[in-house]
A and B are shown apart, each in its own frame.
Chain A
Amino acid sequence: MFGHVFWPYTIIALTVFGIVVLVLAFSLIRYRAGRGHEASAKSKHSVLEAVYALVLVGIASFLAVYVASANAAERRPLGRPQVSVTITGFQWCWSFTYHHTPVTVSGTCKNASQIPVLVVPTHEIIHFSLISADVVHEWWLPYARWKEEAFPGHYNTFDLRFTKTGEFNGRCDEYCGLYHDRMDFKLKAVTPAAFTSWLTAQTRRAASRP
């Protein structure tokens, strides 16, 4: 939905900005002192004001409906999830727990090799439950144009589906104390087959651990 709103909004914003700058430039050049004119004595344009106000209300109503429905579409669950993951934010890193398996991926975020990797299959619906173990964090994946806050004692849930394989950087986006700035993670989207074999291997490893 980001793209559905961002580009129309950017165009509208640039247009409004352009109009205001043009009118401003025009009035500064045309009405600068020293051109031998006197300032107009008129200080009311009732009809113009009313028409302008109505146009504004019209535009604002349109935009309000547009963004509200974009949000409704974005928050709708995608369907029955094929994979479910619990994300836990803690000071100062993440852990990812795959439901119905013993697999949990975690890290310390202290250096590049300690950044946890969240492996997900492409094309499948993934259901995330997000919680914090301590303060408020925020799980942000810029590539997906998506973030949500992690609260202690409360699960926030959302669905995502990835269409492209690849590795994407994500991070905490709510200031959460001293090492907030290194609270990164990686999301690795792989084909469903690769995901299954990865999960099987991880399951086996988890089981062989005492």
Chain B
Amino acid sequence: MTVTELSARLPKRRHKQISDILVSTDHKVIGLLVLGTAMVLFLVFGAIALTMRADLASPGQNLISTGLYNQFFTLHGSGMIYLVITPISLGLGIYLVPLQIGAPGIAFPRLALFGFYTYVVSAVLLLSGFLTASGPGSAGWYAYLPLSDTRYTPGKGMDMWVAAATLAGFAGLFWSICVLWTALRMRAPRMSMLRMPLFTWSEVVTCLMGVAAFPSLLGAMGMITAARIDPRLFTSDLPNLQYQNLFWFYGHPVVYIMFFPYVGSVIEVIQTFGQRKYVGYTVTVFALLLFAAVSMSVWGHHMFTTGQESNEYFAVTSTALSVPAGLEYFGFLSTLIGAKIRFKTPMLFALAFIPQFLIGGLTGIMLASPSLDYQFHGSYFVVAHFHYTLFAGSVFGFFAGFYYWFPKATGRMLSERLGKVHFWLMVVGTNVTFIPMFVMGYLGLPRRVAHYPAQFHLLNVISSIGAGVLGLSMVVLVVNVGESFRRRVPAPADPWDGLTLEWATTSPPPEFNFPAGIPPVKGFAPLFDWKQAKRDPDRTPEEISARGAGYVHSRGDGPAEVRRPAP
């Protein structure tokens, strides 16, 4: 009997009330609350970016005032980082890690839920800056001191920005603790650390960095708070410089928090749609850990032009990041060579991630050279670089995961056709929007300006057209999701022929996840191993459970706890 058949026999679940959802301790509900909120905010802060791009389509245009432009890039950047990509990184962990490790739930579910509310308040605070007389925060997403104190950025809106960033830092810290503890302490029997799926590993590494980095953000926000109470504290050099150190001690690691889970998603998608176990598992785990370790000591590359940083040290550590990055690419490519590749929508996003993120990574290595940074720092070259990592990389990785896990999480299939339209529009839009920015930066256009010299007109027009295509692609996404809820094409338990445990239960999984138990864990792809063993007559008797084809119950291990399927 298949899992789906089994679940059909389970008592029909009571329809959930909205109030049940809002206080649920089920990791799947909490995860979806976080992910759903973040996706709505993604559209909001994306719309703000499109408005900026419309304004930038002509050099001296005042579609929005300079002051509003400054508020927009501050909100777009802060929103995307504090309230979209970071929450999605950890929200994916809350939803998926228990499923991947065969656990019935998450550690400290109430802390995770509390984190969600912290996050909601943060988002409300950030956006309601628009309701204040002064408008929302306008000091950029890293809000350097003394610009962000009350002498230079007065007003309630900026106070609310600081509170929002602080609360987002707390939410990140809470979620990191929950997901990390889940992965470390709640794995199914026989799932050793080196049998955790790679997505779970990416979450472990993400949360390790989160636990180390979010407190530093809280410290930095504490400094701004002090400066807003008494700006005289910040009239000498040292506190202003130390703010930058403290901020970037969070600010660099967070770029990996906003990156690892998407690498993890891409890895899962590649092995599923390549129909083989990931090649170079150990190398990839090692690369992730090395990445995390080294990237805690590279923050100074954001401060090469302060004239007060050890540039050579940070140039060396930052350049060293090319080693784990190279190891990671080894895994991608060597899995694809010799695979059997199916080009479904999730796979297309994962495949586009590979060259696109590479552009972000290679230009990152360039920026790790102080001699280049003395030109590129604060220019559109940097804007292009980080949109290639965050948008062309992380967001593509996210959509790979979104199309891959959507059937699991909702029990509904998405349309492949609309998915592919979304994909191609996004590929075109992304590259048309962000490639010209490299050229603009090389030619000397600074970032964060509402007006620019006429020489940059054409490049900006191209970029704005690309942004329009991106806007269109998001419409297709929304239509696809809407259609899927209208058409209600049910998703089977394992629509993609997956390798890991989340596919060994129903779509969506019931409360406590694995009513039918889980396949025995013998490696990092337990479901794959189990299917192989079942398929391959030569592998008996050890490989196939001699006790029949039933899954091992997730809470136990011995023969007594094996659930026998009904005859």
| Interface set of A (CB-CB < 8 Å, partner B) | 1-2, 4-6, 9-10, 13, 16-17, 20-21, 23-24, 26-28, 30-33, 37-45, 48-49, 52-53, 56-57, 59-60, 63-65, 67-68, 70-72, 74-75, 91, 130, 134-136, 138, 140, 142, 145-149, 151-154, 156-158, 169, 171-182
Contact = CB atoms under 8 A, between A and B. Distances in A.
B315 interface: yes
Contacts of A142: 375, 443-444
Contact of A173 (B378, B443, B451): B378
Contacts of A152: 146, 235-237, 240
24 contacts: A2-B374, A6-B366, A9-B365, A9-B372, A13-B363, A13-B366, A20-B329, A24-B354, A28-B336, A31-B337, A39-B274, A40-B339, A53-B323, A71-B312, A74-B370, A134-B146, A147-B377, A149-B306, A151-B237, A153-B240, A157-B307, A173-B379, A175-B144, A180-B70
A60 B374 CA distance: 21
Interface stretch (B275-283, B474-482, B538-546): B275-283
Q: Which of B279, B315, B343, B363 has the most CB of A within 10 A?
A: B315
B106 to A, nearest CB: 29
B320 A64 contact: yes
Contacts of B452: 181
Contacts of B282: 44
Contacts of B192: none
A49 B285 CA distance: 13
B322 A32 contact: no
The 8 closest A-B pairs by CB, nearest first: A142-B444, A40-B338, A154-B237, A156-B307, A181-B449, A39-B276, A67-B369, A27-B336
Given A24-B333, A45-B280, A71 B371 contact: yes
A31 B450 contact: no
Given A28-B341, A177-B153, A178-B67, A153 B236 contact: yes
A127 to B, nearest CB: 14
Interface in B220-279: 235-237, 240-241, 274-279
Contacts of A37: 340
Given A17-B355, A44-B281, 8 more contacts: A27-B336, A43-B277, A43-B279, A64-B316, A142-B444, A148-B305, A148-B307, A177-B152
Nearest to B74: A175
Interface string B472-491: 00000000000000000000
B475 to A, nearest CB: 28
B333 to A, nearest CB: 5
Contacts of B555: none
B378 A156 contact: no
Nearest to B335: A43
A27 B375 contact: no
Contacts of A138: 305, 377-378
Contacts of B323: 53, 56-57, 60
Contacts of A91: 152
Interface string B350-384: 01001100110011011011111011011100000
Contacts of A9: 365-366, 369, 372
Interface string B300-317: 000001111001100110
A13 B355 CA distance: 12
A65 B316 CA distance: 7
B327 A56 contact: yes
Given A181-B66, A182-B451, A17 B362 contact: yes
Interface residues of B, number: 82
B362 A13 contact: yes
A36 to B, nearest CB: 10
Contacts of B235: 152-153
A32 B365 contact: no
Nearest to B73: A175
A53 B146 contact: no
A63 B322 contact: yes
B315 to A, nearest CB: 5
Nearest to B336: A27
A1 B236 CA distance: 32
A23 to B, nearest CB: 5
Contacts of B362: 13, 16-17
Contacts of B366: 6, 9-10, 13
A27 B279 contact: no
A39 to B, nearest CB: 4
B117 interface: no
Given A24-B354, A178-B70, A33 B342 contact: yes
A59 B274 contact: no
A57 B366 CA distance: 17
B42 interface: no
Contact of A39 (B152, B275, B281, B451): B275
B355 A145 contact: no
B338 A181 contact: no
Nearest to B452: A181
Contacts of A10: 366
Given A27-B333, A59-B322, A153-B235, A136 B374 contact: no
B319 interface: yes
B340 A45 contact: no
Contact of B446 (A31, A70, A157, A171): A171
B326 interface: yes
Contact of B371 (A1, A40, A140, A181): A1
Contacts of B443: 142
B355 A21 contact: yes
B208 interface: no
Interface string B447-475: 11111110000000000000000000000
Contacts of A5: 369, 371-372
A162 to B, nearest CB: 16
